[in-house]
Amino acid sequence: MRVSGRKEGGETRVDPWSQAWERAAAGAVAVVDCGERIPCNPCEEACTRGAIEVGEDICAPPRFDPGLCDGCGRCVAMCPGMAVFLLDRSVGNGRARVTVPYEMGEEMRAGREVWAMDGEGKPLGKARVVGAKKRGGRAGTTLVTVEVDEGWALKVRGVRDRLITLEAPLEAEAEPLKEYPLCRCEEVSGPRVGEVAAEFASLRSLRRFSRVGLGYCQGRFCQDMLRERLARAREMEEGEVGTFRVRPPVRPVKLGKLGGEDA
């Protein structure tokens, strides 16, 4: 990676990522990958050396000075967005060590083989765990250090114990339901109505025979389904089948209410 620079007010400033890459050759250093303008500053509070600064505008993206970082990892554990990781290139031989937060249930131990993942959750390749420690007590965040190829060390944002592959679902054969209620009030099954619907010329006659629509709801829930069955059986449009004739009272009323309590 080449160290790039940009001019601000006549002064050339080194890109923090390039500076962190160079410093990582001597040991662990934090890399801040956060560009979101959201109210968040735990990383600034976690850094005791002042390497990370958000400032008075709590929504400003953090500014990071790798020259002040000692690689303690507090910012990695404290960042709620998992946008900070440690990079260590002192291993040599084209290898690098990356420390990322891990909040899953599986226990990570040195020597374990895991998958290194990028920021989009895609696997980069196999990695070997070289260390794991918990920061912040029993309920804290585990920092997992993996050794990876130096070529994709800056892409690692997390680790996963195993990959989950989704297989194509099997084609399900369409089977008609053997039994289901068409009218819950009178406990009339849908298939039974379908068997006899063709024998009736009107919705009212099918209603009287099947008793669908004569229950407590008076057809408010089952009239449309009964009309559909009859239209299908008689090869008619649903509008030609008609509707139930509703007589008052619309809702069932106790005789005591109609004739008075003493009736």
Q: Taking residues 58-83, what's their average pLDDT?
A: 90
What is residue 26's predicted lDDT score, i.e. its pLDDT?
92
Per-chain mean pLDDT for the chain:
80
What is the predicted pLDDT for the residue at 28? 93
pTM of the full structure = 0.57
Q: How many percent of the chain have pLDDT more than 90? A: 24
Q: Which of 10, 148, 170, 163 is nearest to 87 (CA)?
A: 148
| Residue-level pLDDT at 226 | 82
Q: What is the per-residue pLDDT for 89? A: 93
pLDDT at 8 over 50: no
**Residue 12: pLDDT band with limits 50, 70, 90:** very low
Compute the average pLDDT of residues 119-124.
Answer: 88
Highest mean pLDDT among 138-142, 205-209, 255-259: 205-209
The per-residue pLDDT for 165 is: 62
Summarize the confidence of residues 4-10 as an average pLDDT: 41
- Domain edges within the chain: 13-160, 181-253
Is 11's pLDDT higher than 60?
A: no
Q: 211-214 long-range contacts, Cβ below 8 Å, gap at least 24? A: 211/183, 211/186, 212/182, 212/183, 212/186, 212/188, 213/183, 213/244, 214/185, 214/186
Q: Please give the share of the chain, as a percent, with pLDDT higher than 70.
A: 83
pLDDT tens readout for residues 17-51? 888 899 999 999 999 988 778 888 899 999 999 99
Model confidence over 155-213: pLDDT tens digits? 999 898 877 665 666 666 666 656 677 788 888 877 778 778 878 777 888 888 888 87
pLDDT at 58 (0 to 100): 87
